[in-house]
């Protein structure tokens, strides 16, 4: 039997039933492809917007970190800058990690832009840079496009950031000149006083004199007619003690010794320390009388550099006081300061009052206090804190016939300013008051310890019972990023650390100067 298949084929071709099915299948594939493209690409755009925010944050963090980087080689410095950026990036471990971004890779490049350098933005830190460029690339898994063999989409964003343009600040520098500052700092290789002043010079070299007037304060306060000794080029800072034939005893301040009290100031090349005075809280000016006592050594000056991009000006009293003038010692510990110990609150209130008076002279400016010390307040009531029953006003009339200014108070035992109880806590409260008035307060713990602050330990009337010198300096700062610690200095406690990676004083003061500028995003085309 023969099978004639031709009629069967002809019949099948004439039968139109079911012909739409192949076209439907083909159409569905195309529809799914377009839909998948729309959904997956739309998701990629969402990812990109999230990645842009994370990349901006990483670049700004990297720019803020540039002045703080301390490394032994350029490659390590570059790596440290990249690590600072990555800490705020979207890659694994970054602050902006997001599972919807998929796998993220981050790269960065730092350099010194001559264009920005000419506008007053320094290239700083071991990286010697003022710009960082960050690129983040995300591999975004697909869903529908997998059917077409596309398993992932690549999304990339780039952000560039630099130090910000300088803005005007009024800066009050408070530098410890108590007797302990003559101790040798083995980490720095000189006395603590010399090391501190070198740090001040670094800061003056990094800020903008046309915008930033700077005033220098100290504690204990000194007689106004002897304050000029700190900038008259008559002092010298010793590398070791004893020096200049001065006589010391080991009482109270071993191993540094205490200056023996002699009639009349016997060493005319040093400022004369006096018992602590207590400026009123809320004062709007600070101008001690000529024959009074003062915490302010140099008024607000803008002559510390020859120009915004020039070197330190050797004719400036501020530069001389900071030890920056060749052949001049600058500030040193004052006569008799061994009798008075350390008390921060009075100096902080004095600096804040002076800043309030200065601010109208510098339009659109902000106020800044930078205070350096070991945090351990040690002023004894019987000589440093006039007001107790044994000395009353006697200490204020010893050498100059000084009388208490209007509005000032004598000390008491309440633990509340002014008091010889709770001295470290009063420093924290004074800084908190300044912060509440809009002042940025930076603190530098120099050789601070996690034990001390005897007048704040139980039993007493301290408002901050049990506070330590290290914690005092930490709490003085307005924000955690404004707190620095050189715990490697002599007497320092390695447990007294800050969130800032820099610890050497020169790097710390450079970092503070950079912190005043902040960071900003700039065009990716910046060279």
pLDDT in tens, 267-285: 456 788 888 888 999 999 9
d(CA 99, CA 193): 52
**Band of pLDDT at residue 4, cut at 50, 70 and 90:** low
Helix (H, G, I), strand (E, B) or coil at 227: helix
159-168, 269-278, 404-413: the lowest-pLDDT one: 404-413
Q: Is the pLDDT of residue 191 over 70?
A: yes
Residue 506 domain-assigned? no
Q: Is residue 501 part of a domain?
A: no
265 domain-assigned: yes
Distance CA 369, CA 375 (A): 15
How many domains are there within the chain? 2
Q: In this predicted model, what pLDDT tens digit does every residue of 27-66 receive, in sequence order?
A: 555 555 555 566 767 667 777 888 888 898 888 888 888 8
Q: Are residues 347 and 490 in the same domain?
A: yes
Tell me, yes or no, whether 215 and 263 share the same domain: yes
Tell me the C-alpha distance between 443 and 432, whole Å. Answer: 12
We report the CATH number of the domain holding residue 220 as 3.40.50.410
Q: What is the pLDDT of residue 149?
A: 72
* N- to C-terminal Cα separation, the chain: 90
Nearest to 48 by CA among 129, 155, 147: 155
Residue where a domain terminates, one of 114, 133, 163: 163
CA separation (Å) from 258 to 337, 370, 448?
8, 27, 21
Residues 83, 117: one domain?
yes
- Average pLDDT, rounded, for the chain: 80
pLDDT of 323 higher than 50: yes
Residue 71 structure tokens = 């490394």
Q: Are 187 and 322 found together in one domain?
A: yes
Q: What is the three-class DSSP state of 355?
A: helix
The verdict on residue 382 lying in a domain is no
Pair (173, 156) in one structural domain: no
Same domain, 173 and 222: yes
Q: Read off the tokens for 402.
A: 């000084």
Of 20-29, 273-282, 367-376, the poorest mean pLDDT is in: 20-29
User: What gap in Å lies between CA 419 and CA 115, rounded to an integer?
Assistant: 53
Over residues 350-377, mean pLDDT? 96
What tokens does 321 get? 């006081």
- Considering only residues 117 and 487, tell me which one the structure prediction assigns the higher pLDDT: 487
Higher pLDDT, 343 or 461: 343
In a domain, 385, yes or no: no
In this structure, is residue 511 part of a structural domain?
A: no
Residue appearing with tokens 């633990």: 415
**pLDDT of res. 190:** 85
Domain contains 88: yes
- Do 109 and 134 fall into the same domain? yes
Of 112-121, 266-275, 514-523, the poorest mean pLDDT is in 266-275
Whole-number Cα distances in Å, 269 to 257, 276, 318: 19, 21, 17
Q: Looking at 163, 189, 210, which one is the last position of a domain?
A: 163
- Of residues 122 and 205, more confidently modeled: 205
- Answer whether 241's CB lies under 8 Å from 194's CB: no
403: pLDDT confidence band, cut at 50, 70 and 90?
Answer: low
Same domain for 185 and 153:
no
pTM of the model: 0.73
**Cβ-proximal residues to 374 (8 Å cutoff; 6+ apart), any chain:** 176, 180, 342, 445, 446, 447, 448, 449, 469, 473, 491
Structural contact between residues 210 and 119, judged by C-beta atoms closer than 8 angstroms: no
Q: What is the pLDDT of residue 397?
A: 45
| 416, part of any domain | no
Which residues form the domain of 88?
24-163
Section 66-94 average pLDDT: 83
When computed from its CA atoms, the radius of gyration of the chain, rounded to whole angstroms, is: 33
Q: Do 199 and 257 reside in the same domain of the chain? A: yes
Same domain, 58 and 192: no
pLDDT of residue 52: 87
Rounded to an integer, the average pLDDT of 481-485 is: 94
Question: Contact at 8 Å (CB) between 354 and 172?
Answer: yes
182 plus 86 within the same structural domain:
no
Residue 282's alpha-carbon distances to 299, 356, 408, in angstroms, are: 20, 9, 12
> What pLDDT, on a 0 to 100 scale, did the predictor assign at position 413?
85
Q: Does 50 share its domain with 175?
A: no
Residue 204 has pLDDT above 90, yes or no: yes
**Domain limit, last residue, from 163, 181, 197:** 163
């Amino acid at each position: 039997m023969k099978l004639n298949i031709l009629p069967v084929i002809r019949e099948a071709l004439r039968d139109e039933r079911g012909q739409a099915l192949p076209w439907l299948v083909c159409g569905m594939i195309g529809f799914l492809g377009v839909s998948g493209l729309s959904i997956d690409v739309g998701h990629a755009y969402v990812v990109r917007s999230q990645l842009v925010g994370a990349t901006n944050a990483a670049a700004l963090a990297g720019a803020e970190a540039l002045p703080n980087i301390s490394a032994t080689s350029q490659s390590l410095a570059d790596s440290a800058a990249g690590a600072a950026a990555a800490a705020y990036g979207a890659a694994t471990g970054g602050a902006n990690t997001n599972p919807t971004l998929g796998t993220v890779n981050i790269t960065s490049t730092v350099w010194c832009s001559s264009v920005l350098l000419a506008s007053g933005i320094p290239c700083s830190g071991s990286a010697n840079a003022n710009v960082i460029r960050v690129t983040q690339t995300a591999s975004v898994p697909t869903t529908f496009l997998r059917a077409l063999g596309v398993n992932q989409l690549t999304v990339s964003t780039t952000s560039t950031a630099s130090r910000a343009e300088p803005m005007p600040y009024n800066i009050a520098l408070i530098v410890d000149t108590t007797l302990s500052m003559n101790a040798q700092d083995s980490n720095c290789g000189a006395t603590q006083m010399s090391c501190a002043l070198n740090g001040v010079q670094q800061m003056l070299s990094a800020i903008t004199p046309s915008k930033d007037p700077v005033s220098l304060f100290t504690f204990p306060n000194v007689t106004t007619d002897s304050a000029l000794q700190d900038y008259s080029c008559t002092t010298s800072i010793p590398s070791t003690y004893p020096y200049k034939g001065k006589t010391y005893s080991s009482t109270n301040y071993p191993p540094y010794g205490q200056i023996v009290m002699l009639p009349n100031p016997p060493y005319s090349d040093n400022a004369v320390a006096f018992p602590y005075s207590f400026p009123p809280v809320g004062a709007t000016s600070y101008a001690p009388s000529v024959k009074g006592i003062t915490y302010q050594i140099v008024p607000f000056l803008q002559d510390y550099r020859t120009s915004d991009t020039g070197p330190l000006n050797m004719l400036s009293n501020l530069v001389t006081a900071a030890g920056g003038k060749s052949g001049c010692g600058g500030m040193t510990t004052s006569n008799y300061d061994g009798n008075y110990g350390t008390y921060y609150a009075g100096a902080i209130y004095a600096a804040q009052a002076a800043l309030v008076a200065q601010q109208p002279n510098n339009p659109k400016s902000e106020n800044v206090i930078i205070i350096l010390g070991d945090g351990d307040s040690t002023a004894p009531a019987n000589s440093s804190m006039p007001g107790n029953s044994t000395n009353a006003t006697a200490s204020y009339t010893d050498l100059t016939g000084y009388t208490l200014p209007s509005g000032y108070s004598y000390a008491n035992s309440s633990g509340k300013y002014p008091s010889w109880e709770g001295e470290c806590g009063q420093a924290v409260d004074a800084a908190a008051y300044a912060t509440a008035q809009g002042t940025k307060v930076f603190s530098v713990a120099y050789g601070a310890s996690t034990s001390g602050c005897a007048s704040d330990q139980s039993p007493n009337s301290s408002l901050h019972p049990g506070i330590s010198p290290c914690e005092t300096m930490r709490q003085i700062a307005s924000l955690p990023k404004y707190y620095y610690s050189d715990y490697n200095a002599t007497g320092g406690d390695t447990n007294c650390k800050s969130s800032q990676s820099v610890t050497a004083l020169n790097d710390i003061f450079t970092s503070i100067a950079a912190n005043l500028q902040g960071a900003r995003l700039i065009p990716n085309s910046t060279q």
